[in-house]
Amino acid sequence: MSLNEILEAIPKLSFVERQQLVRRAIEADEGPTPEEEALLEMRLKNFRPEPQNGIPAESLKEVVMQRLQP
């Protein structure tokens, strides 16, 4: 889904859905919570010794984009 498609879909959302979208955008803008930061640090610690076990960014992007499609 492209950014333009997302922007076109926003007016079709219910009031509650738009409120949730705004809340999530604000939360994303605030950065990670201490719990999220700890989880990220733990995952990085586990990843560094064996980086070949990670998922390439392009592969991850493809999976996410497929899940977002209706």
Q: How far is CA 45 from CA 10, 33, 49, 63, in A?
A: 38, 18, 8, 24
pLDDT in tens, 24-44: 888 887 778 899 899 999 999
Is residue 7 scored above 80 in pLDDT?
yes
Is residue 21 scored above 80 in pLDDT?
yes
Q: How many helices (H) and strands (E) does the chain have?
A: 4, 0
pLDDT in tens, 43-57: 999 889 988 888 888
Work out the average pLDDT over 10-19. 91
CA angle 11-31-23, nearest 5°? 30
Q: What is the chain's length?
A: 70
Query: Could you tell me what percent of the chain has a pLDDT over 70?
Result: 100
